[in-house]
């Protein structure tokens, strides 16, 4: 038996889906009993040169998919909100199953669209919206049945991970970005990735899936990678760390905290070894401890593979996790770590300015784990006893604070450092 599919979009993701469905159709039928057939492909330009042969299937009229009763599954690979939202909503209202890789759409309208899907008795699947080829949403659905998870975090944007990998190899931010654009990992306007929007949308989806709560993406603290200077990358490497754009969410007793921000990761950790466009996602639970899932997070075939996996689940009536309840949540801005990287310029020259900074740090019960001083600049990794906001406020009285980044702390950090002893001497 054949199942007719309407594919919306034939860009990078849509091309990957088209290739996989057409090359693996026989194997999908053997596993599910259904042979997938792409009946129509929605594109803007009917005459544009394509990477695949879709002759006879192309249309620029969405009604040829949305109003075709033979088409039972719609795969949305357009991206963005408009017109994707309108198309997906109409497809669901028409009783069609929908699969999407659109993280912004799901992060902003997932609850509404999910309610429509439940009302109409169809599936809205979005595995490819997070983690590329990593089947993380499926894994979460399984694990939450037997365990209580309290933390999720990791690298969820392949473009920024590629840029930071290249910066770690000595390239400038501009050089690394240009290379990512040439390879098709970054758009001509890279703000969606480098300013953390993409990662924040994905984190919103993960929070809903892991904790069963809805956190508006607009209130999740977000910082991009543009603030990272080459001197920060070099200093981090010297001290045994690498920069990653880290998305995280932690569940406390009565509230949830989350954020997306550049973070220093110890070079001996598994996350620091995740290079290029690869993604890595950490799940922590009370029974299973910690799982780390690693896979490609960008490109036509990894994302296309995740979409086809959702298609297979629909064809075999996979229902696990399809009715998870989403509720509101008490959200607070907190940190997952008490360790921070700081870079500042002294307001006074050399030793006098440094003396003021060190005395202030000691007075605030802050321990210095790593440090470097030269000219009128001071850089350090500090462990804060209290809030980092309080420390920043104090430091800004005696110095110009140029950068503050979180640090994923190493185990067994020394309780005292040589620099702390120097504070006492001074």
What is the CATH number for 170? 3.30.360.10
Based on the domain organization, do 218 and 252 belong to the same domain?
Answer: yes
Count: domains in the chain: 3
Residue 84 in any domain: the answer is yes
Residue 93 in any domain: the answer is yes
The confidence score (pLDDT) of residue 326 equals 52
Based on the domain organization, do 194 and 218 belong to the same domain?
Answer: yes
15 is in an annotated binding site: yes
Based on the domain organization, do 94 and 147 belong to the same domain?
Answer: no
- What is the residue range of 70's domain? 2-125
* In contact, 304 and 19? CB cutoff 8 Å: yes
Strand pairing report for 278-285 and 256-266 = unpaired
Based on the domain organization, do 109 and 184 belong to the same domain?
Answer: no
In the block, tokens 């930071």 appear at: 164
The confidence score (pLDDT) of residue 300 equals 72
What is the CATH number for 373? 3.30.70.260
Select which of 202, 208, 244, 383 is catalytic: 202
Residue 200 in any domain: the answer is yes
Rounded Cα distance, 44 and 312, in Å: 28
Rounded Cα distance, 89 and 12, in Å: 23
The confidence score (pLDDT) of residue 423 equals 39
Q: Which of 93, 125, 157 is a domain's end point?
A: 125
Based on its alpha-carbon atoms, the radius of gyration of the chain, rounded to whole angstroms, reads 24
Q: Which of 72, 93, 125 is a domain's end point?
A: 125
10 is in an annotated binding site: yes
Residue 319 in any domain: the answer is no
Q: Which of 90, 125, 160 is a domain's end point?
A: 125
Residue 371 in any domain: the answer is yes
The yes-or-no answer on residue 208 being catalytic is no
Based on the domain organization, do 14 and 161 belong to the same domain?
Answer: no
Strand, helix or coil at 40?
A: strand
The confidence score (pLDDT) of residue 1 equals 85
Rounded Cα distance, 74 and 38, in Å: 10
Structure tokens at 293: 């899932």
Phi, psi of 174 (to 5 degrees): -65, -45
Regions in the chain scoring below 50 on pLDDT: 319-324, 411-426
Based on the domain organization, do 160 and 115 belong to the same domain?
Answer: no
Based on the domain organization, do 81 and 157 belong to the same domain?
Answer: no
The confidence score (pLDDT) of residue 7 equals 98
The confidence score (pLDDT) of residue 381 equals 95
Based on the domain organization, do 23 and 155 belong to the same domain?
Answer: no
Residue 99 in any domain: the answer is yes
Based on the domain organization, do 285 and 414 belong to the same domain?
Answer: no
Other Cβ atoms within 10 Å of 312 Cβ, number: 16
Residue 85 in any domain: the answer is yes
The confidence score (pLDDT) of residue 247 equals 97
Model pTM? Answer: 0.81
The confidence score (pLDDT) of residue 418 equals 41
Backbone CA torsion sign across 308, 314, 320, 326: positive
CA 295 to chain centroid: 13
Rounded Cα distance, 218 and 42, in Å: 31
What is the CATH number for 94? 3.40.50.720
Q: In 183-325, at which residue ranges do the beta strands (DSSP E only) sit? A: 241-251, 256-266, 278-285, 289-296
Based on the domain organization, do 73 and 153 belong to the same domain?
Answer: no
Based on the domain organization, do 280 and 383 belong to the same domain?
Answer: no
Residue 328 in any domain: the answer is no
Based on the domain organization, do 346 and 272 belong to the same domain?
Answer: no
Please state, in angstroms and as integers, the Cα–Cα distance from residue 291 to each residue in 143, 202, 213, 271, following that order.
10, 18, 21, 12
């Amino acid at each position: 038996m054949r199942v007719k599919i309407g594919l919306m979009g034939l860009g990078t993701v849509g091309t990957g889906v088209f290739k996989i469905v057409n090359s693996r159709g026989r194997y999908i039928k053997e596993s599910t009993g259904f042979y997938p057939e792409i009946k129509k492909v929605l594109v803007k330009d009917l005459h544009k040169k394509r990477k695949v042969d879709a002759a006879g299937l192309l249309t620029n009229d969405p009604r040829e998919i949305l109003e075709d009763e033979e088409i039972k599954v719609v795969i949305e690979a357009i991206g963005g909100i408009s017109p994707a939202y309108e198309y997906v909503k109409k497809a669901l209202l028409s009783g069609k199953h929908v699969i999407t890789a659109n993280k912004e759409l799901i992060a902003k309208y997932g609850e509404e669209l999910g309610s429509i899907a439940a009302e109409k008795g169809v599936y809205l699947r979005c595995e490819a919206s997070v983690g590329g080829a990593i089947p993380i949403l499926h894994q979460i659905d399984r694990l939450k049945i037997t365990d209580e998870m309290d933390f999720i975090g990791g690298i969820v944007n392949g473009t920024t991970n590629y840029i930071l990998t290249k910066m770690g190899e000595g390239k400038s931010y501009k050089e690394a970005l240009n290379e990512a654009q040439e390879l098709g990992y970054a758009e001509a306007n890279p703000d969606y990735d480098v300013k953390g929007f993409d990662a924040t949308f994905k984190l919103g989806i993960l929070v809903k899936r892991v904790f069963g709560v809805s956190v508006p993406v607009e209130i999740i603290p977000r910082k991009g990678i543009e603030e990272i200077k080459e001197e920060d990358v070099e200093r981090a490497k010297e001290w045994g760390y690498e920069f990653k754009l880290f998305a995280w969410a932690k569940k406390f007793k009565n509230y949830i905290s989350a954020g997306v921000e550049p973070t220093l990761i110890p070079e001996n950790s598994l996350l620091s070894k995740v290079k290029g466009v690869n993604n890595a996602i950490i799940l922590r639970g009370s029974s299973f401890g910690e799982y780390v899932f690693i896979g490609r997070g960008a490109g036509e075939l990894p994302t296309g593979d995740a979409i086809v996996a959702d298609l297979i689940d629909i064809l075999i009536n996979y229902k696990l996790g399809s009715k998870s309840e989403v509720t509101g949540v008490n959200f607070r801005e907190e940190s997952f770590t008490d360790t921070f990287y700081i870079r500042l310029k002294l307001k006074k020259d050399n030793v006098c300015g440094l003396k003021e900074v060190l005395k202030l740090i000691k007075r605030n019960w802050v321990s210095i784990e790593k440090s470097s001083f030269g000219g009128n600049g001071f850089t350090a990794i500090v462990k804060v006893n209290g809030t980092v906001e309080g420390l920043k406020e104090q430091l800004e009285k005696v110095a110009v604070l140029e950068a503050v980044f979180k640090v994923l702390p190493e185990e067994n950090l020394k309780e005292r450092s040589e620099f702390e002893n120097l504070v006492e001497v001074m």
